[in-house]
Structure formats: structure tokens, C-alpha cells
Structure 1
Amino acid sequence: MTLTAPPRLTHPLDPEDEAALRRIVRDVEDGFNRNDPALLSAHIAEDAVIGTARGTWATGRAAIDEANQAVLTGFLRDATAYYEFSDAVALAPDVAVAQKRAWSTRDAADAGEPPEMIALYVFVRRDGRWWIARRQNTLVA
């Protein structure tokens, strides 16, 4: 068996695409901080799958909307978040992934505290715009 170098599977994003993905994550942050479930879900595809803050899966836009409403009126109603977007790359011309780190406040991030959560987003471009197809939030112990 001959060993070969593994393929390079990611490519830099076009600056306009990266800016669009950053705006989407900023809308998610703003939706959370404003307790606005419509903004929180605005960029989620109809067939998306989201790992929720409760450690469950929400599949499809209706279930995701319901989960967002539940957390914004329930146990995270008074919570705030500050997100740092990073590591956005293209996997294919219309598929991208990105990561975010999250803290309860910007002050916590600026103070150098470790993130309280990390997340992986999978975006798909359809009809000229980007959509969240998958998102997995992971709380940091």
C-alpha cells in the first residue's frame, strides 16, 4: 500500500461570502440577545438540523422555531451572548462551514475568559443567498 498525502478539502471564501456568513451569525446573536425568535430563525433552511442548548436535536424549520421560542421564553430568557465568528471556509462552491465561540458577555471575551460555548455551522447557498443547514452548539465545561 502506498501512502499518499490526504487531499485538501477546504478553500478560502470569497470576501463577500464571508461577510454574508458573518451577518447571519450576527443576526443569530442579535435574535438571541433581543429575545426575538423570528430573527434567531431568519436564516435557517426549511430542512435544517440544529443541536439545541438543551442537548437535543431539532429537525426542520417548524421544530427549530418551536425550540427557539421555548428557550427564549424559558431558561435562557434573561441570558445574553457575545459571539466571535472564525474559521469560515468553503467545502464546495455553495457549501461553507464556520465556527463561533460564545461568551455570556463581550466583557468576558475581552477579559480573556475561555468561551462558554463553541458552535459549528454548515451553510448552503441557494437562490443567491446563504442558509444555515446545520448547527451544533457545544457547551464548554
Structure 2
Amino acid sequence: MSSDNTAFDSASSLEVRGVIAELIDAWGRGDADAYGAFFTEDATYTSFLGTYYRGRGDIVTSHRALFAGVLKGTRLADDVLDIRFYGPDTAVVNSRGDTYKGKPKQADQLSKTQTYTLVRRDGRWLIAAFQNTKRKKLLERFTYLFTPEARPAAER
């Protein structure tokens, strides 16, 4: 389901995908410091609960506690939907994702939609902003039933 929508070479797209893959790996190891290293110092992070974190330090501290508690032993599933570049040093990634334990979830089972905004600093891509939204599939179905035109073009 992934498609890159870029005006740049595929090397930039591969680099951005690599950052997301390494971020997922750090999560799977429960390594809050490695996870946080993929964010800019002033990054913003909005969880699916609506919790707003500001700065790498806040992201690392919160994830250290989460990895030791409710998210201990979880892994991330992520399916990149698209990557768009706005100049050579800014990328926006949309994906579907979820946490899991045990067997990985399939793409159609992912319950969250994410938006990553990445910037290239000193030749390295970092996440400047992250937004995670919990999908409400039942409400989506009702909306599409009563307002079919509201269904995203990619799902028609």
C-alpha cells in the first residue's frame, strides 16, 4: 500500500524509510535513548491519547517510563502510506501503525494513523514532529455509509 510521492531521488526516500525502520527497532528493544535519538532537540510528539510532549528529553523520559511499564515488551508495526518531500531537507511521512506483542499485525489490522515530519540536519534525517491518531473503524464505516463522498479516494 505504500507509494512515494517525491520530486527527489529514491535515495532520500530510502534514507527516510531507514529512519522509520531504525525507530521501530529501537522501540522493539525498549531503548528510550535510542528511540529519542531519532528526534530533533525541539521535536513535538502527540500520542494517540492526545498527550503532547515537547523536546527530545521529554520524549525520552516518557518512553523510558512507558517501556518499563505499560509498553514493556511491545513492538511496533508500521506501514508507510506515502512520503512527500517539501524541498531537499523536509519530508512528511504518513503511515498506519500499531503496537503488539507476539505475532505481528497485518496492515489491515493497524489501528492508528501517524504523521511524521522529518528534517535533514547535518546530513541526517530527524523527526521534528510526530502525530499519532487512533482510528475509529466503526465510526468510519458509519460515516461512509451515510456520506459515501467522505471516503478517501484511496479507499474507493
Cα shift at 1:106: 6.4
- The one of 23, 35, 40 equivalent to 1:45 is 40
How far apart in 2 are the matches of 1:78 and 1:94? 34
Of the structure 1 ranges 120-129 and 100-109, higher mean CA displacement relative to structure 2 is found in: 100-109
SS in 2 for 1:70: helix
- Which amino acid in 2 is paired with 1:15? S
Of the structure 1 ranges 63-72 and 52-61, higher mean CA displacement relative to structure 2 is found in: 52-61
- Equivalent runs, 1:1-141 vs 2, <5 Å: 11-103=6-98, 104=100, 107-109=104-106, 113-141=108-136
Check 1:124–1:92 CA distance in 2 against 1; reply closer, same or farther (3 A cut). same
Of the structure 1 ranges 75-84 and 118-127, higher mean CA displacement relative to structure 2 is found in: 75-84
Cα shift at 1:54: 4.1
Task: Extract unaligned runs of 5+ from structure 2.
Answer: 137-156
SS in 2 for 1:12: coil
How far apart in 2 are the matches of 1:129 and 1:18? 13
Query: Normalised by the size of structure 1, how large is the TM-score?
Result: 0.82
1:84–1:102: 8 Å Cα contact kept in structure 2? yes
1:30–1:39: 8 Å Cα contact kept in structure 2? no
How far apart in 2 are the matches of 1:54 and 1:78? 20
SS in 1 for 2:108: coil
How far apart in 1 are the matches of 2:108 and 2:62? 28
- Which amino acid in 2 is paired with 1:89? R
Cα shift at 1:43: 1.2
Task: Extract unaligned runs of 5+ from structure 1.
Answer: 1-9
How far apart in 1 are the matches of 2:104 and 2:62? 28
Check 1:11–1:65 CA distance in 2 against 1; reply closer, same or farther (3 A cut). same
How far apart in 2 are the matches of 1:14 and 1:78? 37
How far apart in 2 are the matches of 1:74 and 1:107? 20
SS in 2 for 1:130: strand
Structure with a larger share of its residues in helix? 2
Query: Normalised by the size of structure 2, how large is the TM-score?
Result: 0.74
How far apart in 1 are the matches of 2:24 and 2:67? 12
How far apart in 2 are the matches of 1:134 and 1:107? 26
SS in 2 for 1:88: strand
How far apart in 2 are the matches of 1:106 and 1:90? 33
